[in-house]
Amino acid sequence: MSETADRVKKIVVEHLGVEAEKVTEDASFIDDLGADSLDIVELVMAFEEEFGVEIPDDAAEKITTVRDAITYIDSNKA
């Protein structure tokens, strides 16, 4: 597992208060992890802060699973 994946999963566990084993790369934030739309806004803000990337709104809308987040960050971080 990549370093990005570890850090993304840690943020998801902290923000959503879910068990770490539930945060698989296939997990959907809303369907599997119980997030609401405001939680997703917060997660995106947390990712931006942690990785120093900017995630514009149109990209953020496409991030629905843990894998989406990892992929976006890996291809856009400095």
Partner 1 sequence: MFDLNGMSALVTGASGGIGSAIARALAEQGARIALSGTREDALQAVAAEIGGDAVILPANLSDAASVDGLVPRAVEALGKLDILINNAGVTRDNLAMRMKDEEWADVIRINLEAGFRLSRAALKPMMRARFGRIVSITSVVGATGNPGQANYAASKAGLVGMSKALAQEVASRNITVNCVAPGFIRSAMTDALPEAQKDNLMGKIPAGRLGEGIDVAAAVVYLASREAAYVTGQTLHVNGGMAML
Question: Which residues of this chain interact with partner 1, rule CB under 8 A?
Answer: 38, 41-42, 45
Catalytic-residue membership of 36 = yes
Contact 73, 4 (CB under 8 A): yes
* CA angle, residues 26, 28, 30, in degrees to nearest 5: 170
DSSP code per residue over 40-63: HHHHHHHHHHHHT----HHHHTT-
CB of 39 to partner 1, least distance (A): 10
Which residue among the candidates 26, 31, 32, 36 is catalytic per the annotation?
Answer: 36
d(CA 64, CA 51): 18
Q: In terms of CB distance, is 25 or 46 closer to partner 1? A: 46
Q: In terms of CB distance, is 5 or 16 closer to partner 1? A: 16
CB of 49 to partner 1, least distance (A): 8
Q: In terms of CB distance, is 1 or 38 closer to partner 1? A: 38
Which residues does the annotation mark as catalytic?
36
